[in-house]
Amino acid sequence: MTIHREGYKSIAICTLVFGAINFAVFYFFSATLPLLCWVIFLLTLFLLLFIISFFRIPNRALTLSETQLIAPADGKVVVIEETVDPEYFKDKRLQVSIFMSPANVHVNRNPIGGEVVYNQYHKGKYLVAWDPKSSTENERHSVVLRKNGKEVLVKQIAGALAKRIINYLQTGQQVRQGEELGFIKFGSRVDLLLPPGTKVHVQLNEVVKGGVTVIADW
């Protein structure tokens, strides 16, 4: 396991705060309230370890396939339904949405290889990520990947806690399946908009792994 580069600054700041809080607490209260000092130490240590774990990148064998679309994120499948995309396709698409809790790995990966033909950031609200309106009203970043004439839209969506979406792709860029697409800090969701009739291999409430779980035949 390694730590994602997006976490270096946050972890450094949290470590300094952890050290400052505990130095002050033990300096002023260790003689009179030792139990309180240790409770504060354990609580702040837990929070520091949680922050570190949030930015983890576990070692895993990625699934690479020319004919399959792979999960772009870790989390739970919360939506599998036909919808109308008002942003790019302007017609019916099959939507598959993955909810990412704060405990999930938050690296987002390219579900397919191909060319980035659309890349757009949208300001918006911060509704809870499982709200159906979050797909169109929340802060989000959309990219469309094209391969062999087929296109899939990947939408990173901010939630009530996640208020920083990071996307690494650029229009015209050629990307590989499984490479990093971006990062969402502190929980949210990722939507996939697929061609109608796409054969989906996951079910509602199924837990998937980014870069590993096969979402659909491509």
Taking residues 64-86, what's their average pLDDT?
Answer: 95
What integer pLDDT is reported at residue 139 of this predicted model? 85
What integer pLDDT is reported at residue 131 of this predicted model? 61
What integer pLDDT is reported at residue 218 of this predicted model? 77
Alpha helix ranges (H) inside 113-174? 134-137
> Is 188 part of the annotated catalytic residue set?
yes
pLDDT in tens, 98-107: 999 888 998 9
Instruction: Tally the residues of the chain.
Output: 218
Which one has a higher pLDDT value, 163 or 35? 35
What are the extents of the domains in the chain?
Answer: 2-57, 68-217
Q: Which fold has domain 68-217?
A: Glucose Permease (Domain IIA) (2.70.70)
**pLDDT tier at 1 (50, 70, 90 boundaries)?**
confident
Least reliable range by pLDDT among 57-61, 116-120, 172-176, 177-181 = 57-61
> What percentage of residues in the chain have a pLDDT greater than 90?
73
* Res. 162: pLDDT tops 60: no
Task: Give the predicted TM-score (pTM) of the model.
Answer: 0.87
User: Of the listed 97, 134, 142, 188, which one is catalytic?
Assistant: 188
Angstrom CA distances, 163 to 133, 144, 166, 183, 184, stand at: 16, 22, 10, 11, 8
Taking residues 198-203, what's their average pLDDT?
Answer: 95
